[in-house]
Structure 1
Amino acid sequence: MGSSEEKVVAVIMVGGPTKGTRFRPLSLNIPKPLFPLAGQPMVHHPISACKRIPNLAQIYLVGFYEEREFALYVSSISNELKIPVRYLREDKPHGSAGGLYNFRDLIMEDSPSHIFLLNCDVCCSFPLPEMLEAHKKYGGMGTILVIKVSAESASQFGELIADPETEELLHYTEKPETFVSDLINCGVYVFTPEVFTAIQGVSSQRKDRANLRRVSSFEALQSATRSLPTDYVRLDQDILSPLAGKKQLYTYETRDFWEQIKTPGMSLKCSGLYLAQFRFTSPDLLASGDGTKNATFLGDVYVHPSAKVHPTAKIGPNVSISANARIGPGVRLISCIILDGVEIMENAVVINAIVGWKSTIGRWSRVQASGDYNAKLGVTILGESVGVEDEVVVTNSIVLPNKTLNVSVQEEIIL
């Protein structure tokens, strides 16, 4: 089969209602994958990265959300990218590898030579064409995107050891208790269809074990793994770890940015990373102005075409302003996400914050935070339709939807 005909498909795991609890109060309104980073839904960034894969036939989104929650987005993005995007709803948890296997017939519809698997809550530059090239050179069943991180933070992720010469994956362990390596799994993979055989192998082994009437003492010790449903297969523990060192899996290291988007604070950081990337990939999406006819924009700023920004406002760096927002005279915005329909009145200041849909911030008010993206209250978050009255200061706080603040608050969660 000539390389011209080899088709590739991409599968993006978007999770579901059981997940995203750490993303409240923002996920109360909108599925986490559709929350805007740099003015585009979170899932849009991996999807548009897939567009650069040669011979891409289809993109599948797999998750637990109701199909109607994604219907509008899926149809508009399919039209925009001229590539079919389909949402596939999981009926029950199958594990990261089991979820892929569950839809194997659909995924294999186009007889792809390669399958990309991405996680929606990963923020990176997604070097997918480069990974595919490397993978073809290595051979084997799969290639994993990896990155070097600090030794202190490595234990929060899957740590791995790769051969420095061949890039072969030699050892893989998920969130180890003792330090293994500063190389971690980025949650972006390319596989050949053989991955389905490997997943099926794990299921079959489980079935066989379950059928053994007499449980040996060794099996009894392993009852934790035995109690997993036979069709629940985890990519990391059940596929990557056992296949390490068998010339099946290889690594591709990114030297670009990489983050995991687990909390609202991280979404603000990642919005900034994507805005900075726009400078190279889509400079047309960044606002510009020097305060004469337009507002003054500093650094990377995205403004939705329908938003109104007063010429005396000063915006940036790392600011994203969504549809129908109104930014008044003398307003100062730094490192923040302003969602649809927000109104910010004159001389108000917003720093290190996410301002929820249809919220209002009064004159001379301040909504601010320290900007420690990992801290629980390092970013101030206003839920939907929160009113901050004139001359009120909100610092390092989370305010749930439909509240009105007429006194200043600091380090509080207002329910």
Structure 2
Amino acid sequence: MKIIVPMAGRGSRLRPHSLTVPKPLIPVAGKPIVHRLVSDIAKVLGEPIEEVAFILGDPAFFGDDVVASLTALAEELGAKASIYRQDQPLGTGHAIMSAAPSLSGPAVIAYADTLIRAEFNLDKDADSVIWVKQVDQPEAFGVVKLNDANEIVELVEKPEEFVSDLAVIGIYYFKDVGALKTELQYVLDNNVINGGEYQINDGIKRMMADGKKFVTGQVDEWMDCGNKKVTVETNQRMLGFLEKDGENMISTSIKKENANIIEPCFIGENVVLKNTTIGPFVSIGADTVIEESTVKNSIIQSHTTIKNANLDNAMIGNHVKYNGNFETISIGDYSVLE
């Protein structure tokens, strides 16, 4: 089994946090989004992963440190890491075809801006599985249309009239991803463009027209990391899940002085807490110092100093110095507010 991860986008909706760190590498509940996604997919697939192919953007942004992090992630799963570059932002179909040498055999394609909680068995009789989640406002999503046999017969983007309430979450299984490669090559060669880009859906629709069987897979939880608000919410939900799993999320190397921790929280290595209440639902990166503060429902990254703060629903980057009484804030890396 292979896992293909398109992650070349700049994550503009998560700025300022994605200005210096690619969005898939921003930690949620103490672990980079893409690391958590790939690890969770490998766990629920329950079979050996032979290769993880990552599709990155500009090397000036997705540099050697990113490549090293992703290579280590694949190796942790006992898999080979393959690194590809999408040289132009020409859409989801174009991104996948940037990894053309890896597009053979059974594979999962997963976009690195979402997290899941699921337990499932792959339908090996189907040519493809598209994972979906039931939603309250299907008109805001791409959805699947099913026939009487519960097979997918159509993909509809943001339907104006009700088609179904099963939203596509951006994770796909292909029994032979080479079939998708063939159809996406046709899309590129014949300049089939939707929304100004080459889309994965156009390759999938050609597979359907060729008689390939598509079915749905459903996840228990689907958590977005598209912008600051939903990323903080996802951090909260993930901490709750990890607590139920019995995962230890508080480092033994933290230093506390008149400090109170209300779990669930993730607290990294060498964090210092003085005259402070942390939690619930807070993630704090390594080597951060928080003094004279109250923090809840927030993400604070590493090597940051927080003083005299009352934070709720906040997201603060790496190497930040913050001293103030704002409550709901979003501060990117290397910022100073004193």
Task: Provide the rounded CA distance (Å) in 1 between the counterparts of 2:31 and 2:15.
Answer: 19
Structure 1: tracts of 5 or more residues without a match: 1-7, 208-224, 287-301, 370-378, 406-415
CA distance in 1 between partners of 2:244 and 2:211 (Å): 36
Q: Residues 313 and 75 of structure 1: is their aligned pair in 2 closer, same or farther, counting only changes over 3 Å?
A: same
SS of alignment partner, residue 331 of structure 1: strand
TM-score, scaled to structure 2: 0.85
User: What residue is the counterpart of 1:342 in the other structure?
Assistant: 288
Aligned equivalents of 1:355 and 1:255: distance in 2?
Answer: 28
Matched residue, 1:206: 191
In structure 2, what is the equivalent of residue 146 of structure 1? 132
Taking the aligned partners of 1:243 and 1:106, their CA distance within structure 2 comes to: 19
Question: 1:68 and 1:305, CA in 2 relative to 1: closer, same or farther beyond 3 A?
Answer: farther
CA RMSD, Structure 1 to Structure 2 (Å) = 2.8
Question: What is the deviation of 1:78?
Answer: 3.6
Residue in 2 aligned with 1:162? Answer: 146
Cα separation, partners in 2 of 1:310 and 1:189, compared to 1, 3 Å: same
Q: Residue 206 and residue 71 in structure 1: after superposition, are their counterparts in 2 closer, same or farther (change >3 A)?
A: closer
1:97 to 86, 93, 100: 93
Q: What is residue 223 of structure 2 aligned with on the other side?
A: 259
Counterparts of 1:226 and 1:349, CA distance in 2? 48
Q: How far does residue 161 in structure 1 lie from its aligned partner after superposition?
A: 1.5
Aligned pairs (5 A) from 1:26-175: 26-52=17-43, 53=45, 54-66=47-59, 67-108=63-104, 112=105, 114-125=106-117, 127=119, 130=121, 132=122, 134=123, 136-137=124-125, 139-140=126-127, 142-150=128-136, 152=137, 154-163=138-147, 165-175=148-158
Does the CA contact (< 8 Å) of 1:37 and 1:271 recur in 2?
A: yes
Number of equivalences: 330
Tell me if structure 2 keeps the 8 A contact 1:198–1:239: yes
Q: SS at 1:22's partner residue?
A: helix
Alpha-carbon offset, residue 168 of structure 1: 0.8
* CA distance in 1: counterparts of 2:300 and 2:183, whole angstroms: 46
* 1:116 Cα deviation after fit: 0.8
Match among 316, 322, 330 for residue 382 of structure 1: 316
The alpha-carbon deviation at position 394 of structure 1 amounts to: 1.4
Match of residue 326 from structure 2: 394
SS across alignment from 1:198: helix
Structure having greater relative contact order (Cα 8 Å, sep ≥ 6): 2
Say if 1:75 and 1:161 are closer, same or farther in 2 by CA, change over 3 A. closer
Match of 1:367 among 310, 315, 322: 310
Contact 1:169–1:245 (8 Å) recurs in 2: no
Q: 1:241 to 1:259 in 2, by over 3 A?
A: farther
Structure 2: gaps spanning 5 or more residues: none
- Alpha carbons of 1:279 and 1:265: their partners in 2 closer, same or farther (altered >3 Å)? same
Cα drift, residue 204 of structure 1: 3.7
Which deviations, in whole Å up to 9, do the C-alpha atoms of 1:162-217 show, x marking residues without a partner?
A: 23x5321122111234443211101100112211122123234439xxxxxxxxxx
Change (3 A) 1:170 1:257: same
Matched position secondary structure for 1:43: helix
Pair 1:182–1:334, CA change in 2 (3 A) = same
SS at match of 2:326: strand
The answer on 1:195 being equivalent to 2:180 is: yes
Paired residue type of 1:358 = H
Residues 289-308 of structure 1 mapped to structure 2, 5 A cutoff: 302-306=249-253, 308=254
Taking the aligned partners of 2:30 and 2:228, their CA distance within structure 1 comes to 15
Larger radius of gyration: 1
> Match of 1:155, SS?
helix
Which string of whole-angstrom CA distances, capped at 9 and with x for unpartnered residues, describes residues 31-58 of structure 1? 2111111211111112212433324211
Pairwise CA distance, 1:226:
8.9
* Structure 2 letter corresponding to 1:276: G
Q: Which residue of structure 1 aligns with residue 279 of structure 2?
A: 333
The one-letter code matched in structure 1 to 2:281 is S
Please name the residue that 2:297 is paired with.
352
